[in-house]
Structure 1
Amino acid sequence: MLRKTRRDKAMVINALRTLALLLVVTALAGCQFAGNNRGNVPLPKALVERMAAIGSSPAEPMMIRVYKESSELEVWKRTRGGQYALLKSYPICKWSGTLGPKVREGDYQSPEGFYDVTPFLLNPKSSYELSFNVGFPNKFDSALSRTGSYLMIHGDCLSVGCYAMTDEGIREIYAMARETFKGGNSAFQLQLLPFRMTEANLSTHAASPHAAFWRDLKVGTDAFDQTKQPPAWDVCEQRYVFNLNDPRTAPLDPNGACPVAPFSTLAAL
């Protein structure tokens, strides 16, 4: 009788341990699902309707412009006519440092330049609600031996080198990126700019050590403003160039000479 009681007690203990383990596994699985599901939240109906109003859809290509000085992020979408139109502007909660590019790891500077965001750079499990990596360092940054890692656009309104959005804002922006990739697009262009690239703003900041760099960026933003098509960017002579090389040929050498007789999609303008 004593042996039976001990055996029954052991069975109860083992059953309780098994139940506890199952509960832990279930809880962990639930947390993991919740984390993954953040990246699958549907686009708001009003935003999809806004896309339709400008002649676009979630699957169409997109482009993002960021302006540090005014703390704005713009999402542009390709329309039925083939040109891009402004879809929506979002306030940036916080960015780090001052006007000017990121130079080295730990300088707490939010980057500037032209970047391409691919599906691999999306992070649905971000500790900052949702995020995507901007792609720093890119070809230009690497040519100048600039360093830095994990530079993101994310939620939570907290920045130590990133561009921080509201959680509501990053949910929409992330969902738009997700849907444009689902539409078969391999990347979207990200233009990280110090300010709106007007002559007046450039004149205001003419004494900055970054003035020449900003002039290069303006060539790219002007190309977009004229054509409403994201310009093809590349790097030669350690500077940005736009619509300069024939995309059917090999990329330019970032440290080499720029082409003498460039291919240009702006030639017809």
Structure 2
Amino acid sequence: MERRQLEYFLAIVEYGGVTRAATRLHVAQPTISAALRSLEKELGGQLFERGPGRFLLTQAGASLIGPARRVLRDFDLAADSVQDVLGLSGGRISIATVPAIGFGWLTKVLAEFRRLYPAVQVSVDSDIDSQAIADGVADGSHDVGLTVESTVNAGIDGVEVGTQELKALLPPGTPQQEAPIALRDLVSMDLITMHSSTSRRWLETQLGLVGLRPSIAVELSSSDSIVPLVTTGAGYALWWTPMDNGACVLHTIEPSLTRPIRLLRREGKPAPTIEAFLRAVDVVVGTGRAVPEEN
């Protein structure tokens, strides 16, 4: 069994067929087909059920996904270990994060990481589901996960590397004030929010305790348009900080709400690229909690 066979197998799984996998990998389709047939022959069974325009995983194929990812991660770990000795002159790190961390906190960490290790390639995927991020770290899909909720996974180390505070995001030019804004004072203002989010559910619960409801003006399926809409004066939003707020004004609110930023990685000694990322986290955050202590 060769590394490239496993890479092609996982590409077929990810992209849904040999043709799309070949296109994304810039490899001739017959090359991938031949590698798949060779892998199936070596393993003694079909990994996919073939049909017109479709490749469906067999039970055997589904059972191979996790081990294949771990084998490829071990290959990367071996390469990273050599590069660590030679001075980390390459390598790759894959990060999965919830959007609220990716838009702000992670930006500063990546800037420091790129300054320290410019030869390391970085891949960042966004997911609103913290448990899905943790699962991806556990099965080897990602090296590092960044979440804001507790997750349950065997073989995963989690450490708190910061906190986020919920604030009111107001249009540019809004006068600054020292005193926090009371939630009841936001009721008369137009709210720009996602269809479902932690901040919206919290706001509705808090206002519901005193018989009030937010005045929702715009509902969005993602947070990408929130800052542009608030910038135009279309309304206000609830915004987790630190996160890029553009030219908008941030005000603290009362009562306040904070949540931890959790960094997840697989247990054991981290690969050199992962340890380098953890060092960058400690430089930016200044806590010294990300890099594991030597036993």
Could you state the TM-score of these two structures normalised by the residue count of structure 1? 0.24
Structure with the higher helix share, 1 or 2 = 2
Which one scores higher on RCO, CA 8 angstroms, separation ≥ 6? 2
Structure with the higher strand share, 1 or 2 = 2
Larger radius of gyration: 1
